[in-house]
Amino acid sequence: MKKSLVRAALVAAMAAAVATGCAGGGSTETAGDAGSRPETSTSAQQQAHNEADVAFVRQMIPHHVGAIEMAELAEGRTDNPQILDLADRIEQAQGPEIEQMRGWLDAWGVGHDMPGMDHGDMGHGEMPGMGAEDMRKLEQANGTEFDRLFLELMIEHHQGAVDMSNTVLDKGSDPEVKDLARRIIDTQEAEITEMRSLLES
């Protein structure tokens, strides 16, 4: 009788252990699945970009830097409030975009420079509206002459950014990069219209 009771108790204990093990296994598997989701998401993010995205970001960073350098020249060279306001907006918009793009390159694990190019290769001479001679003239200009030259060079520079953005919209694959490209197009096309109007006024 006692043996039967002991055997029954052991069977009950084993059944409880198995049930607990199954529940625990299910929980562990679920946790494992949940834990794997961020890895899958991260992997998907890493695979979201292609060579066109990388090239765009690598080129747009120095392009933005060039625009900011031009905008910084306005202070002290013109009293035109419209030019000063435009220059300030360019700095405020493009500064954070530079940091965003640098973050992408770091996250992607790629260098910030185009392969086979030195830092100087992406200098002013490579950018629309940013030739070395153009910049020298802009630095030496003042008043209405500065305003005219600034607007002419920045229109050309902005058009270069719009063209680059359209290219990545066509050939890129990363959704975040494409979102930035669309913002650049919207913002800079509007500023091009504004600058052309200022030139004609």
Domain ranges of the chain: 1-48, 49-200
72-92 confidence digits (pLDDT tens): 999 999 999 999 999 999 999
- Asked whether the predicted pLDDT for residue 124 surpasses 80, the reply is no
- Tell me what the pLDDT averaged over the chain comes to: 80
- Cβ distance 80 to 57 under 8 Å? no
Residues 6 or more apart whose CB falls under 8 angstroms from that of 94 comprise: 64, 67, 68
The 10 Å Cβ neighbour count of residue 104 is 19
- Asked whether the predicted pLDDT for residue 42 surpasses 70, the reply is no
- Asked whether the predicted pLDDT for residue 125 surpasses 50, the reply is no
Band (179; pLDDT cuts 50, 70, 90): very high
CATH of 49-200, one of 2.30.30.100, 3.30.70.920, 3.40.50.960, 1.20.1260.10: 1.20.1260.10
Query: Which has the higher per-residue pLDDT, 141 or 2?
Result: 141
Query: Which has the higher per-residue pLDDT, 6 or 64?
Result: 64
Please, what is the angle between helix 81-108 and helix 51-72, to 10°? 150
Residues 6 or more apart whose CB falls under 8 angstroms from that of 149 comprise: 134, 137, 138, 141
In this prediction, residue 30 carries a pLDDT of 41
DSSP annotation of 84: H
134-167 confidence digits (pLDDT tens): 999 999 999 999 999 999 999 999 999 999 999 9
State the average pLDDT over residues 178-198.
98
The 10 Å Cβ neighbour count of residue 127 is 21
* pTM greater than the 0.75 cutoff: no
Please, what is the angle between helix 132-140 and helix 143-171, to 10°? 150
In this prediction, residue 101 carries a pLDDT of 98
Residue type, 155: I
Query: Which has the higher per-residue pLDDT, 47 or 56?
Result: 56
